[in-house]
Amino acid sequence: MIMRSIITGTGCYIPPVVMTNKDFAAHLFYTEKQEPIDTPPTVVVEKFKQITGIDERRYTNDELNTSDIGSQAAAAAIKDSGVNPEEIDQLIVAHNFGNVFKNTIQTDAVPSLASRIKHALGIKSPNCIAYDILFGCPGWVQGLIQADAYFKAGIAKKALIVGTETLSRVIDMYDRDSMIFSDGAGAAVLEYKEVNEDGPGIIGAAVQSHTVEEVDYINMGMSYYPGSDPGVRYIKMKGRKVYEYAMKYVPAAMKQCLDQSGVEIQQLKKVFIHQANEKMDEGMIKRLYQLYGVNEPPNDIMPMSIHWLGNSSVATIPTLYDLVVKNKVDEHALEPGDVILFASVGAGMNVNAVCYRY
């Protein structure tokens, strides 16, 4: 028998406000030089769909903030796990922008979102250590890695890892890339338990940070709209650079994770990859298999939610995982013993992967 970190409960929050591609077709788009894009918005939107696979995305209600929707996902995960909330040792919240109140420009991250979520959940134990983690889109996966390390160090036995974001409040509507981003939250309870050698739990992990020329591939900048206030900043992305970075480093991280875990590529059942861009995600999976000399990955290897949920950053993987384990994604299901990968890429630039046996 050995000890492993096991996901015992999951939950997610899917925002109610649906923003379709048609909602963006009437927008005016500008370049980073604040020059109008000559291509008609309807054509811009159609090309966007062809590249990203996104038909629609979700925004939360105006009265809810990042910590609010994170609390809802967390409560669902706790209920699903059956764990006593007062026995949770670590409450880790991955996000990137804190609470951004609707129609404001200031991030509210004091107290931390983890503290706010712990308060909302009514957890009174001072031994439940609540803290935030800023790691770009891979933040939730990094939360898994961090909790697992604390378990192995003998510091904790139960953790709640939340990924929550309201990106709709930090996007520049005049920037084509704004159509990618969305809101959402996902959470999981992780427990350290004794299992058989071939039992469930985290088997291995890999993580890297590249911060030389890559550091500003995703950053904050002023609106592309001419004459906009330079003091108001929005999330910006160098799309081509991000794509090239992800294609190079994410497959390598996934392979490193599998190899360190002693898992053959043929044993891999599913890859829960950050829902960033359909074509990019498909490319990364294909390149992973090519690293093992396999030209084409299995057709059912990669469940996706980006078509209807968009890119909600740290929330994409835990949300997708929750949907799959609860049989809410057509043609995708997990059976006990299945080996899966969680993998992500995002601002930093950071990449990570976790090999997990269901």
Query: 325-351: per-residue pLDDT in tens?
Result: 999 998 899 999 999 999 999 999 999
Confidence of residue 112 (pLDDT cuts 50, 70, 90): very high
Residue 301 has pLDDT above 90, yes or no: yes
Tens of pLDDT, residues 74-99: 999 999 999 999 999 999 999 999 99
pLDDT in tens, 240-251: 999 999 999 999
Q: Which two tokens stand for residue 202?
A: 């985290």
pLDDT at 191: 98
Q: How far apart are CA 159 and CA 266, in angstroms?
A: 31
Q: Which of 20-29, 163-172, 267-276, 312-321 has the lowest mean pLDDT?
A: 20-29
For the chain, what percent of residues have pLDDT higher than 90? Answer: 85
List CB contacts of 132: < 8 A, sequence separation 6 or more. 92, 93, 94, 95, 109, 112, 113, 114
pLDDT beyond 90 at 227: no
- Is the distance from CB of 17 to CB of 60 less than 8 angstroms? yes
Residue 111 preceded by cis peptide, ω within 30: yes
- Please, what sign has the CA dihedral across residues 82, 85, 91, 95? positive
User: What whole-number percentage of the chain has pLDDT above 70?
Assistant: 100
Cβ proximity of 143 and 133 under 8 Å:
yes
Please indicate whether the domains covering 2-195 and 201-357 agree at the CATH topology level.
Answer: yes
Question: Which of 267, 252, 218 lies closest to 351, judged by CA?
Answer: 252
How far apart, in whole angstroms, are the C-alpha atoms of residue 59 and residue 14?
9
Q: What confidence score (pLDDT) does residue 61 get?
A: 94
The answer to whether 77 and 190 are in contact (CB under 8 A) is: no
Q: Is the pLDDT of residue 106 over 80?
A: no
Using the Cα atoms of residue 113, residue 70, residue 192 and residue 260 in order, give the sign of their dihedral: negative
Task: Name the pLDDT band for 230 (thresholds 50, 70, 90).
Answer: confident
Joined together, the tokens standing for residue 298 give 């299995």
**What 3-state class would DSSP assign to 216?**
helix
| 119 CB-near residues (< 8 Å, 6+ apart) | none
Using CA atoms, how far apart are residues 321 and 273, in angstroms rounded to an integer? 10
Separation CA 204–CA 268 (nearest Å):
13
Please state the rounded mean pLDDT for residues 218-246.
Answer: 91
Q: pLDDT tens for residues 175-195?
A: 999 999 999 999 999 999 999
Domain borders along the chain are 2-195, 201-357
**pLDDT for the residue 108:** 87
- CATH 2.60.40.1180, applies to 2-195: no
Return the pLDDT at 216.
94
Averaged pLDDT, 291-315: 95
Query: Given this model, what pLDDT does residue 88 score?
Result: 98
Residue 51 in tokens = 């590249």
> Which homologous superfamily is 201-357 in?
Thiolase/Chalcone synthase (3.40.47.10)
The length of the chain is 358
Please give the pLDDT value at position 105.
Answer: 72
Check: CB of residue 123 under 8 Å from CB of residue 78: no
Q: How far apart are CA 217 and CA 349, in angstroms?
A: 7
